Every structure is written in structure tokens, then in C-alpha cells.
Structure 1
Amino acid sequence: MAEVWFEARQVEAWLSGRPVIHQLNLTLALGQSTTVLGPNGAGKSTLVKLIERSLHPIVQADAHLKLFGSETVNLWQLRSRLGVVTTELETRFPPGIEARDVVLSGLFGSMRLGRDQTPTPNQRRHGDALLHQLGLETIAEQRFGQLSDGQRRRLMIARALVHSPEVLVLDEPSRALDLKAAHQLLQTLRQLCRNGTTVVQVTHRIDTIVPEMQRVLFLDGGTVVGDGSPAEMLTAERLSALFDTDLTVVEANGYRQVLPAFRPASG
């Protein structure tokens, strides 16, 4: 049986003085790439904050939140098993840092390489291998501020992979990307899934769900309202209910796109 890496039972979490996660019951296992889908304000980014431990749930007698089987987590040890990519993290990097150093900074959990942060030759080779894997080797010496949105997003993924984690969590990875950059990102996600990384994608966009995803969760109102395979969940009926609008689903090459449902003119 696959190891459970995330387990939430009756979890409640608050942000800015209001509850945003309600009675969350969710189990995620290694080897099962999953998309968490929901409208804006559904609690998706809050779930990511709970996973990365930048937000803690309300303490309740009947509730618990475990990562890799433990309620108490050493953040340094967690980095060796879990990588997280958010657009918020992306905005914190200084524009003058080299792309290669962005990747290597992940070894130390920092935004730049300090004087006492010197990667070993093996770590530098691993960083270069990640740049090559994600098609970024040609921009290794470019400044972060000179890169396109798509390059930055893939660079954040390379940084998150520097510890070779078992799980990679991405919060709205296609946000602000043009078509070419989005398609390059999707190819990266497909490659990671095929290579054995457990990918968790948190998004509101159905068209970015790659064919390798094995499970789709619906999140709304801060709780799970649907759970199943892509074939079960990504139907016009279920997506229309989740997004509270009439939709039709078009499928091609393993991807799905949603369009407004056709309603013939009356009269």
C-alpha cells in the first residue's frame, strides 16, 4: 500500500480573522499525482500553506494534520521530501541573482547564496542537470529579472527539485503565462509525473490538467466537495456545479477544455 504523505482530519484554518478551511478531511498518497481544482476563493492556496507549514490549523481535540505520518515536522527534513512552488515565492527573488544561483539557493532555503552558503561540486552538477532537464541550460547565467514569466516558473520548479523531493506541490503554476510558456510548463509536469515524482497541482484551470494526473479533487468553500478520477470528475455536469455556471467539455489528446454551454436562442 502506498505511503500516505498528507493526512488531514477535521482540519480548520483561519486567515485574516476568518475561517478559510472547514472540516477538511483529505488523504494524499505517494505515487498518486493529483489536481486540486476549484474556483477563486475556494481555499486552494490556503491548502498549499497548510502543506508547506506556513499556516497552522486551529487546534481541536478531534482534528489532526500529518505530513509523512507525523504531526510535528522538522522543516529542514521536510525539504528533502517535499518541494513547493508558489508565485508568491517567485516575487521574493532579487532581480540581479543568476538563474543558476536561484536553483542552488534551494539547498539552503534562502533567496540568494550567502557567504557561508557554498554548494559542493556535486550539488552544482545536480543544479546544472536540473537546468538541462527543464530546458533552461541556456539561461543559467542570466539575471532573474531578465527572464520571461515562463522561464521563471520553470526555474522555481528546478529550485524545488534540488533536494530530489518525492512530492512536488504547485500553486496555480500556469498563472500569467502565455500559450507557449504554458505548453512548455505542461510538458515539464508530464515529464515529472512519468519520472516518478508525485505532483500535486492546485489550480482553477481545467485545461492545465495533464493526462498523467490520476486523481482530481474539487475544493469549494474550504472543504473537499468531490474526489475521483479525471474521467469521473471532469464532466460537464460536475464542473458546471463546481463553478456555478453552465459548461460543456471538449477533450483532445488527453486534455480537456471547457466552453460555455450552448443554449439555442428562444423564439
Structure 2
Amino acid sequence: MPTSADPTPYLELQAVEAWLGPRPVFTDLCLRLHRGEHTVILGPNGSGKSSLVKLLGRELYPVVKPGSWLRIFGSTSVNLWELRGRIGLVSPDLQAHYRPQVRAADVVLSGFFGSVGIGRSQQPTAAMAARVAELMEQLGLAELAGRPFGQLSDGQRRRLLLARALVHQPEVLVLDEPTNGLDLRARHQLLGLLRELARGGTTLLLVTHQIEAIIPEIRRAVLLRAGRVVGDGPVEELLRDGPLSDLFATPLRVCSANGYRQVLPAD
């Protein structure tokens, strides 16, 4: 259900099969995502959400077989350096890879190199440093520039990773469970930043199991369960009592306010 004027999906999966170790994560996954269309991939733990992010980030590769393909920005062959400039990623895996002593500013700067921290062989330019300073100012992180990553709160770390993902001004921003572990203030700050990005023209792909993390600008929902798409359509149709109760296999009641949704037990 593309709503973008751009007819080429930034992600196209056709009958994709993919394995993690000895088990299949996907056996026949079909999905198309378009620029200009803010989308949430919603599902319970173990549904394949993070594996989908790994497919998009080229950390996981599908089985090669007839009638099956994975295309990113219309191509089956992807240059990783080019991809990093077009798709930004914020994920718990990435946060866990940073050493506690890495300076906050270097976390953001490393986004230019697709690395975790800055190595001796990497030579940041003045333009890169200026972009880092600009982003840290915009995201309320300027005073943290010299602080070690390990001394920051989870909310501050998540905003740093968001700044890192934005250094190339990507067309698409992928957010894998971005509000996990955040307190109310940090979560609201992060969601506010995501709303600004969505209104500013960055295409958002939110991957989560948390209904309350879905900002009002997201209009399409893809429901994922056991590696299969079990629902795909407008949020008004899918983020309701029945579809969500089926998705999470528990009776739920959805409450809405100011464009956000919360879920409560239905019994």
C-alpha cells in the first residue's frame, strides 16, 4: 500500500528465506517499503523483527533460490558504503558494541566511517566535526561531547546513536526498539525528535513490540508473527483491539489520545 510518489521501494522482499544458525527465521517473506511512507513493523518478541533489520542492514543474507529476491533501493547488489549513506540505523545491538570509554562526540563521528568508535587510521575532516557539533546541538547533547559513553544515561546514549545515524542525512531511518529501557522523560524526548524528523522528510521505519512508541506520523502498520506478515495496512485498521489481540495472543483493549495509543488488558 505505497503512498509515496516514488514507485521504487527502498526495500523489496519476495519469497525470502533466511536462517539464523540452525533455524529458519523467514521461509516465504514478502514485503515492500517505500520512501515517504512512515511505517511500523510490529510484533511480539521472536517474530523476526530484528532479523528483518539485519536483512536491511546486510548483516543477514537470504537463501538464493528461483523466484526469491531482496532488493534495496531497487538493486539486488548493494554497496555497503553507499547504503550507510542512505539508511541510518539505531539499534540495541549497536549500542552494546560501544566501549564505555569512547567519547560521546566520537560515537556520533563514527557514523561517517560505519565503525564503532574512531580508530587511528580514520582521519575525520573539519566538515565532519562541524556536522557532529551541529547534530549534538540540535539533539541537546552538546554539553556531553567529552563525556565517556559508559557514564551516560540510556536516554542520552539513544540520542547519541540517533545523531550518529543522521550524520549522512539518510533518506531512511531504521529504529529497532528505540524506546526499550527508557524512562518516561527520555522516551518522550526521543519520540519528539522522531516526530520532527518525520515531518522534516526523513522516512521512518520503526521496528517494535511497544504500541506506545508509535508516533502519530506513522500511517502504515505491518504486523509480523513467527516470521510471517499477518497484517499490512493503515494504522487505523490494524492498531485495534481485535488485530492486536490476535497478534500478541492475549485479549487487549486499545486506548487512544493525541494520536498515540496504549494497550490495556481486555479482561
Query: Could you state the TM-score of these two structures normalised by the residue count of structure 1?
Result: 0.96
Take 1:188 and 1:146, find their aligned partners in 2: how far apart are those partners? 22
Tell me how far 1:115 sits from its aligned partner: 2.2
Q: What SS does structure 2 have at the residue aligned with 1:65?
A: strand
Take 2:139 and 2:12, find their aligned partners in 1: how far apart are those partners? 31
- Equivalent residue letter for 1:238: P
Tell me how far 1:22 sits from its aligned partner: 2.4
Quote the residue 2:122 is aligned against: 117
1:247 aligns with 2:261: no
Contact 1:235 1:249 in 2 (8 A): yes
After superposition, residues 41-80 of structure 1 pair within 5 angstroms as: 41-80=46-85
Tell me how far 1:219 sits from its aligned partner: 0.4
Take 1:56 and 1:111, find their aligned partners in 2: how far apart are those partners? 22
Contact 1:248 1:259 in 2 (8 A): yes
Take 2:133 and 2:168, find their aligned partners in 1: how far apart are those partners? 13
Render the CA deviation track for 1:195-215: whole Å, top value 9, x for unaligned: 111110100010110001021
- Equivalent residue letter for 1:168: L
Take 2:144 and 2:196, find their aligned partners in 1: how far apart are those partners? 20
Take 1:114 and 1:203, find their aligned partners in 2: how far apart are those partners? 32
Take 2:27 and 2:48, find their aligned partners in 1: how far apart are those partners? 9
Quote the residue 2:176 is aligned against: 171
- Equivalent residue letter for 2:95: E
Tell me how far 1:116 sits from its aligned partner: 2.6
Take 1:180 and 1:60, find their aligned partners in 2: how far apart are those partners? 47
Tell me how far 1:70 sits from its aligned partner: 0.5
Take 1:65 and 1:132, find their aligned partners in 2: how far apart are those partners? 37
Render the CA deviation track for 1:93-122: whole Å, top value 9, x for unaligned: 111111111100111111122223122111
Take 2:57 and 2:156, find their aligned partners in 1: how far apart are those partners? 23
**Moved runs in structure 1, 4+ residues, more than 4 A?**
none
- Equivalent residue letter for 1:157: L
Q: What SS does structure 2 have at the residue aligned with 1:227?
A: strand
Contact 1:22 1:221 in 2 (8 A): no
Q: What SS does structure 2 have at the residue aligned with 1:109?
A: coil
After superposition, residues 233-244 of structure 1 pair within 5 angstroms as: 233-244=238-249
Quote the residue 2:111 is aligned against: 106
- Equivalent residue letter for 2:228: T
Quote the residue 1:6 is aligned against: 11
Q: What SS does structure 1 have at the residue aligned with 2:10?
A: strand
% identical equivalent positions: 54
1:141 aligns with 2:146: yes
Query: Could you state the TM-score of these two structures normalised by the residue count of structure 2?
Result: 0.96
Quote the residue 2:203 is aligned against: 198
1:26 aligns with 2:36: no
Unaligned runs of 5+ in 1: 263-267
Take 2:179 and 2:254, find their aligned partners in 1: how far apart are those partners? 20
Quote the residue 1:181 is aligned against: 186
Take 1:105 and 1:248, find their aligned partners in 2: how far apart are those partners? 43
> How many matched pairs?
262
Quote the residue 2:234 is aligned against: 229
Unaligned runs of 5+ in 2: none
Q: Give the RMSD, CA atoms, in angstroms.
A: 0.9
Moved more, 56-65 or 137-146: 137-146
Contact 1:11 1:64 in 2 (8 A): yes
Quote the residue 1:261 is aligned against: 266
Quote the residue 1:265 is aligned against: none
